[in-house]
A and B are shown apart, each in its own frame.
Chain A
Amino acid sequence: MVAVGIRKAGKAHEKSSTRIDFTPMVDLGFLLITFFMLTTTLSKPVTMEINMPAKPEPGDPPPPEVKASKVLTLMLSHADRIVYYKGVETESPTVESTEFGKDGVRKLLLEHKADVQQRFADEDNPAIVIIKPDEDSVYKNVVDILDEINITDIQRYALVDITPQEKIFVKKLGKAEIQVKFPPEAANSPKWGAQPHHIRLFARHDNHIRNGLAVQSRVFSTGNLLLQTQFEPLAINVVYPSTAKAKYFYHFFIPTIHLSINTLIIWLPNKSNNTAMY
């Protein structure tokens, strides 16, 4: 104690500064700021209001009829595809397909709006759009299409269930691109790799093999085969001869589930081990 007292007394004349180093305190301050910034919700979510039509009840009067020529029906399907037609489904309308985006559905909606407005000049914004998402569409598609309707300022639209007839429209207008990959290992297999062979790839839209509408064939030993169809294939067949001279063919039957972007990897034989990976 005495020693401390002496030291203090000795230092008294040095007049130690009252300044404190603030650096650690600033560090602490900014650390806390960072913490609060990160835990705060920065962007509050926004909402999109949607008004559904009331469900009809037994006693209700029938809904007012609208002119079919005002109506554009959009069907949403998997892989962000939009299939559409104008008018009524029972009068075999021209069915076409488009995509999301500025040059796809937005252009279509603007054209439809302008076209209807021209024909019904005495009405204010008479165009009607009916949206029918199918089982393969996702929530994003619905939000996106409602968005496009808001962007193009179409006042009358409805979200309705898809009909069986329209499902057929969608199916027929599907597009598929199937890529078959023959891995290099296949070329080295004793049966296959010796010489190039002729391979055919069929895409079918129903259960009859004769209805293979798209066929792609090529002579090759390894590499890729690309098949593009103008419809949604039900199945893909890959046909190749069992030996160079053979008249017999191996068939792969590959059921297709959502084939819009797909790569099949085919391992060529070994006759005993006839497998397809996909």
Chain B
Amino acid sequence: MPKHKIARKSTNIDMTAMCDVAFLLLTFFILTAKAKPEELVTVTTPSSISEIRMPDVDMILITADTAGRVFFEMDGQPKRLDLINAIDEKYALQLTDAEKKMYSIRGPMGLPAEQLKGWLNDPHSIEADKMAGIPYDSLNNQLDSWIIYARVANPMARIAIKADAKTPYPTIKKIMNVLQDRKINQFNLITNLEANPNKPEGGETAHKE
């Protein structure tokens, strides 16, 4: 019987191909990546079957947390600069150019106008969970000013309300009232996507007759 000798093969694999794939994927993710937007408060939005994607630009975002605090943000640095100029004038805050610049760099904010100057000087002086929220009651309706001047700074802006699923309805109603008082009757509610029971996956909308 001849001896069959199995040829010994090296266990080394050529990693070049794998390396290529890895970096290809890496390039893809770097190019498609969009950093998570800064969020001051964590808000768990309720889910809905609506499939309208939230646009990235021209948005005014009003965030309400479970405690009823309201945060305001708008996209676009130059527009934010216009906005802070108007707010500065309205509430006589006497902000310096550096402070205004700081606002235009930072996005979301949830402070009464009086505390704005201090916070813009040192953003770490007030932590997000210590922020009081923008006042929006009828006596001191600063949210209204923010919305109005934001609309002036960016007339194209659409208004979206992002609220926690557990936010009490009176809070939402007050925010809606602020908007409606300014004749803004169309706005968006930000939600998570959930499956539409009328539309099985991959199928056409099944109309119930």
Instruction: List chain A positions with a Cβ less than 8 A from chain B.
Output: 21-23, 25-26, 29-30, 32-33, 36-37, 39-41, 43-55, 76, 102, 110, 133-144, 146-147, 150-151, 161
Counting contact residues on chain B (CB < 8 A from A), the size range is: 35 or more
In the complex where A22-B16, A23-B15, A47-B190 touch, is A29 in contact with B22 (Cβ < 8 A)? Answer: yes
Nearest CB of B to A253, in Å: 27
B52: A residues at CB distance < 8 A: 46-49
Contact between chains at B191 and A52 (CB < 8 Å)? no
* Additional A-B contacts beyond A39-B33, A52-B186, A134-B169 (11; CB < 8 A): A22-B14, A22-B15, A26-B18, A40-B33, A41-B37, A47-B52, A47-B190, A49-B186, A50-B186, A135-B169, A136-B168
Query: Which residue of B160, B176, B179 contacts A47 across the interface (Cβ within 8 Å)?
Result: B160
CA distance A21 to B18 in the complex (A): 12
Secondary structure class of chain B's binding surface, majority of residues: mixed
Q: Which of A36, A48, A53, A147 has the most CB of B within 10 A?
A: A48
Chain B nearest CB from A182 CB (Å) reads 32
Contact A46 B50 (CB under 8 A): yes
Kindly report which residue of chain A lies nearest to residue B16, judged by CB atoms.
Answer: A22
Among A43, A137, A143, point to the contact of B189 (Cβ < 8 A): A143
Interchain Cβ contacts under 8 Å between A and B, 29 examples? A21-B12, A22-B16, A25-B19, A29-B19, A29-B23, A29-B25, A33-B22, A39-B36, A40-B36, A41-B37, A46-B48, A46-B50, A47-B53, A47-B191, A48-B50, A49-B186, A49-B187, A51-B185, A55-B183, A76-B169, A110-B208, A134-B169, A135-B168, A135-B169, A139-B167, A139-B172, A140-B166, A143-B48, A151-B198
A143-B46 CB under 8 A given contacts A47-B160, A50-B188, A52-B185: yes
Contacts of A21 in B (CB 8 A): 12, 15
Q: Tell me if A33 and B29 are in contact (CB < 8 A).
A: yes
A-facing residues in B58-110 (Cβ within 8 Å): 64
Q: Which B residues are closer than 8 A to A by beta carbons?
A: 12, 14-16, 18-19, 22-23, 25-26, 29-30, 32-37, 45-54, 64, 160, 162-173, 176, 179-181, 183, 185-193, 196-198, 208
B164 touches A47 (CB 8 A): no
| Contacts known (A33-B26, A55-B181); A139 close to B186, Cβ less than 8 A | no
CA distance A31 to B113 in the complex (A): 44
Contact present for B193 and A46 (CB under 8 Å): yes
Known interface pairs A25-B15, A47-B160; A139-B190 also in contact (CB < 8 Å):
no
Q: With A37-B29, A52-B180 as given contacts, are A46 and B192 in contact (CB-CB < 8 Å)? A: yes
- Residue of B with least CB distance to A106: B197
A114 to chain B, nearest CB (A): 9
Q: Closest A residue to B180 by CB, please name it.
A: A55
Does A133 contact B196, Cβ atoms closer than 8 Å? no
Q: Which of chain B's residues have a CB closer than 8 A to the CB of A143?
A: 46-48, 165, 189, 191
In the complex, the chain B residue whose C-beta lies closest to that of A23 is B15
A40-B26 CB under 8 A given contacts A102-B197, A137-B169? no
The answer on a CB contact under 8 Å between B53 and A44 is: yes
| Residues of chain B within 8 A of A23, CB atoms compared | 15
Determine the distance from Cα of A30 to Cα of B19 in the docked complex, in whole angstroms: 9
- In the complex with contacts A33-B29, A36-B33, A102-B197, A43-B50 CB distance below 8 A: no
Task: Please determine whether B54 and A51 come into contact, CB atoms closer than 8 angstroms.
Answer: no
